[in-house]
Chain A
Amino acid sequence: MTSQGSPEFENLVGALEQNLISRRQFVSRAAALGLSLPAISGILASPGVAARSRRTGRAAASAPRVGGTLREGYDLDFSRMDPINTSWYDPGFFALYEALITLDPKAKFVPQLAQSWSVSADGKTWTFKIRKGAKFQSGAPLTAASIAAVYNAIVNPKSGSPQIAMWAPVIKSVATGPTTLQIHLKHPYANLPNVVATGYSRIVNMAVRSKLGATDYGKKVIDGSGPFRFVDWVPGDHVSVKRWDAYPGSITPFFKNKGKAYLDGINWRYIQEAASRALAIENGELDALHGPAPQDIGRLKGNSNMVVTQLGEESVWFMGLNFDRMEFGDVRVRQAVSHAIDRDAIVKKLVFGYGTPAFGPLPTSDPTYYKNVEQFNQFDPAKSKALMSAAGWTAGSDGILAKGGNKFSFELAVTNESFSTQLASVLQAALKDIGMDVKVNAYDRATHFSKLGSGVDSFTFKYLWPNPYDVYIVLTASSAIPIPNWEHAKIPALDAAHAKFQSARTPAQLLAASRNGQMVGAEQLPFVPIFTPSNVWVNTKKVHGYLPLPWNLYPYYNDVWLET
């Protein structure tokens, strides 16, 4: 018979406390030592053993586990994964590629491929010190020259990069050594970090891209420097990647994992039907999800197995009015349209409160958002009617505005996705209240964008961009008529504001220029802002290290691991 104070007994309890044996093993061994069942139960229930056991258990659960495939649902279809020339960059870009710098959880620029950077005294040369040991998944070294090659390809107008306008101040990028990259500018450009941090500026192996050709790269072969390798892409269905075991590690400060990824792979699945997304994660088909239908968010929040992260989105839904049609070139008419829109009601009814009204061109969640824009574009149908009257339009017997025998009747072109058509119906009803006759036409995306290119009376569009002021320039600069300035906006004050933004020398000047541009846009309305939807991410509790940030658009996957 062994007593409870014997060395054998103490060793056994110690093994249990350190989780070296299971509770079942403890029971059988304690019984073998001659302990009675009530005595064993008492030991197991004792606060010390239970607490230590729980502590070690938690520690085991929080230690990252290697293995498993993350299944992530997504609300937008995936594009060809060529950063320079793609229709849109997707979550896969954050697993396959790396950027020169990136944004941390506090929206501060931090190293990724560049470990440090500086600006010359005249503000016209940026020098980036590139980390040593970086390489592409093919094994080719990633040097300053590799990065310069990408940036010099982007600035070619035929490259197809949506960032052309943002790279306009750049003369050229030069590697002055294997780890030194210089970007030479026409004039100071404090916005440059925003430009090089986006998905469109991620670093691709140009040798591989050139060999395949600009239209074929990113379909079947990808060579980036991110912690995952490409497996396959099926448009309309999924993208798959697998861990790159030779990943040299990351220097990005906010990544806890500096080595290779924990996950074996990631499978992103496109779920077109909004109502199906929440069901898919609830039914255990997914581990994480972006963009559940607004009506399902409350239910997901109430699910104890889910973590719902609700962020502001760097996007704005807006209505574009063609300056060359229906007197939309008259600012009073654009303002009349804007004042007729009840943005609060749209947010409340259409997205169940998961969004914020937009009164200016930038979303409220952006760090540079200027609240003073809210003095414009408030819901005021009486003001709309007065503005239209001042512009010479009077209501006829049918309630529709008319001038010189012409009725105020125009087309609103939207995509045939369900939310777009719902929003169009709301806009149609709102504008009817002030005497405008709106004919809504819904098209598939290919037709919609062809129509926008050739010119339509009006349209709706949602931009989504990590630094919204950049896309604001792209969409409204008079130099971008007819594509992508689909509204054919010609506002000299706005062009001047954009020029000021693009030549700002310091972050303070950049912020001031942004605020000025926001005020001009809110008053002059190159487009009519409507609202910004919430950016909602959901993950099950077995997913760890999952950190979506609004300004990066997608989470990084270096730290993500799955509990069994």
Chain B
Amino acid sequence: MIGFILKRLLYTIVVMFIASVAIFYALRVAPGDPVNAILNPTAMEQARAALRARLGLDLPIWEQYFVYVKHIFQGDTGESLLTGKTIPHVLATYGLRSLVLAGTALLIAYAIAIPLGVLAAVRRNSIWDQAAMFFANLGMGIPSFWLALLLILLFGATLHWLPIEGSGDLRHLILPASVLSVESLAVTMRLMRSSMLEQLGQDYVRTLRAKGVRGRRIIWVHVVRNALIPIISLTGLRIGWLIGYAVIVETVFRWPGLGYELVDSVIRRDYPVAQGLSLLLTLAVLSANFLANMAYAVVDPRLRKG
């Protein structure tokens, strides 16, 4: 088992190293210069050269990389070239907003999908079931950026009910969280329906009915509880998926979360922030894979040998 863990750990470290080189190199060879985001476009070349030297951007790329890695090992992840805020500060500020957005979206999705999934299963093949599945298919198929534009047009431009970009009060959260929730809502509704149908065919349901337990009690106390198990298992995966998917939604609604900040930092060539956030996402994926591998290995001893 220890050998397996070490092997997987080594694999993770190697992939992380390759990713860090790729991200570092890609950002620097892309056209554009962070100096242009810091100085006035009309600033003289002397000032540009002085700033490049101060930021270490005049060094060869490999040297810049080693300086960066050295700082990382010293616990210094760098700071934004634009704002001077440290990467942990950026992560905390923007990450919190992403979590709020993803959490709200998940809440909306579950609050609607679970009751509708139950209804669709209980009234199988009824108009309720068909309508719920129709909307589930629509939700899975509709591109989020397009839905976002439609909602902006309706609730922002036409009805003037809701703000269409930025953050501030709860009203700013409604449209992005709704758009972000749609896909999860659709997937959860379908999963809930199939899970409910599976549970409804189980022996314990027949037993409960034979014992004279009322239908609603069987559904809401016994069946739903068991049917929720796959939904709960999926929640962990969905949070990760939502944060990734939020990049599009955050960009369209200019919701200042991690996704928005990542895109913005790349556009502005704010190298430390772009690197920090990209590496964090890479690390998150690799860590999730590592933990999943560990979990599989615990469950299935055959994997420990491979």
Q: Give 9 A-B pairs besides A164-B47, A236-B264, A445-B267 with Cβ atoms closer than 8 angstroms.
A: A160-B43, A215-B38, A219-B82, A220-B83, A234-B83, A269-B166, A446-B34, A475-B42, A484-B42
Tell whether A34 is near chain B: CB-to-CB under 8 Å: no
Contacts A271-B165, A475-B42 given; does A449 touch B36 at CB 8 Å: yes
* Interface-facing stretch out of A6-14, A131-139, A275-283, A402-410: A275-283
B156 touching A279, Cβ below 8 Å: yes
Residue contacts A-B, CB under 8 angstroms, 9 given: A87-B37, A87-B41, A235-B264, A236-B256, A279-B156, A280-B163, A283-B162, A443-B31, A484-B41
Q: Does B48 contact A (CB under 8 A)?
A: yes
Chain A residues within an 8 Å CB radius of B156: 276, 279, 283
Q: Which of A87, A157, A164, A452 contacts B38 (CB 8 A)?
A: A87
Residue of A nearest to B153 (CB): A275
Q: B46 near A157 (CB under 8 angstroms)?
A: yes
Task: Give complex CA distance A82, B55 in Å.
Answer: 18
Q: Which residue of A lies closest to B260 (CB)?
A: A236
A498 lies within 8 A of chain B by Cβ: no
* Interface residues of A, count at CB 8 A: 50
B46 touches A88 (CB 8 A): no
Task: Please list the residues of chain B having a beta carbon within 8 angstroms of any beta carbon in chain A.
Answer: 30-34, 36-48, 50-51, 54-55, 82-85, 156-157, 160-168, 254, 256, 260, 264, 267-269
Identify B166's interface contact among A233, A271, A275, A452, CB under 8 A.
A271
In the assembly, what is the distance between CA of A9 and CA of B31, in Å? Answer: 82
Interface residue A161 (Cβ < 8 Å from any Cβ of B) = yes
Q: A474 interface residue, CB < 8 Å from B?
A: yes
Q: How far is the CA of A450 from the CA of B264 in the complex (A)?
A: 18
- Which 6 A-B pairs rank lowest in CB-CB distance, beginning with the nearest? A446-B32, A160-B47, A162-B40, A219-B84, A484-B42, A447-B32
Given that A273-B165, A484-B42 are known contacts, is A450 also in contact with B160, CB under 8 Å in the complex? no
A484 contacts which chain B residues (CB < 8 A)?
41-43
- Is residue A4 within 8 Å, beta carbon to beta carbon, of the partner chain? no
Return chain B residues, CB-CB under 8 Å to A269: 166
With A271-B165, A484-B42 as contacts: A279 and B157 at CB distance below 8 Å: yes
How distant is the Cα of A445 from the Cα of B267 in the complex, in angstroms? 8
Q: Which residues of B contact A327 (CB under 8 A)?
A: none
Q: How far is the CA of A157 from the CA of B46 in the complex (A)?
A: 6
Task: Evaluate contact between A237 and B32: CB separation under 8 angstroms.
Answer: no
Residue of A nearest to B45 (CB): A483
A447: B residues at CB distance < 8 A: 30-32
Interface centre among B42, B163, B254, B256 (most CB of A within 10 A): B42
Please report A residues at the B interface, Cβ cutoff 8 Å: 80, 85-88, 157-162, 164, 215-216, 219-220, 233-237, 269, 271-273, 275-276, 279-280, 282-283, 285, 443-447, 449-453, 461, 471, 474-475, 480, 482-484
Q: In the complex, are the beta carbons of A158 and B41 less than 8 A apart? A: no
- Min CB distance A198 to B, Å, is 12
Residues from chain A with Cβ under 8 Å of B260 in the complex: 236
Knowing A87-B39, A87-B40, A275-B157 are in contact, say whether A80-B82 is a contact too (CB < 8 A): yes
Distance in angstroms from B252 CB to nearest chain A CB is 10
Q: A80-B82, A283-B160 known; A446 and B268 CB under 8 Å?
A: yes
Chain A, residue nearest B264 (CB): A236
Contacts of A444 in B (CB 8 A): 32, 267
Residue of A nearest to B267 (CB): A444
Find A216's partner among B37, B41, B47, B84 (CB 8 Å cutoff). Answer: B84
B33 touches A446 (CB 8 A): yes
Q: How far is the CB of A445 from chain B (nearest CB, A)?
A: 7
**Chain B, Cβ-Cβ closest to A85:** B39
Closest residue to A214 on the B side, CB-wise? B54
In the assembled complex, the Cα of A220 lies from the Cα of B33 at a distance in Å of 23
Cβ-closest chain B residue relative to A200: B40
B46 touches A158 (CB 8 A): yes
Cα–Cα distance between A211 and B34 once the two chains are bound (Å)? 24
| Given A236-B256, A445-B37, A450-B33: A164 in contact with B268 (beta carbons within 8 A) | no
A285: chain B residues at CB < 8 Å are: 163, 168
Q: What's the Cα separation between A450 and B29 when bound, in Å?
A: 12
Say whether A234 contacts B256, CB under 8 Å: yes
Per the bound structure, the CA–CA distance linking A483 and B33 in Å amounts to 14
User: Which residues from chain A contact B162 at a C-beta distance below 8 Å?
Assistant: 283
**Considering only CB atoms, which chain B residue lies closest to A213 in the complex?**
B54
B256 nearest CB neighbor, chain A only: A237
How far in angstroms is the closest Cβ of chain B from A266? 15
A160 touches B166 (CB 8 A): no
Q: Which chain A positions have C-beta within 8 A of B34?
A: 446
Given known contacts A271-B165, A446-B267, is B43 in contact with A161 (CB within 8 Å)? Answer: yes
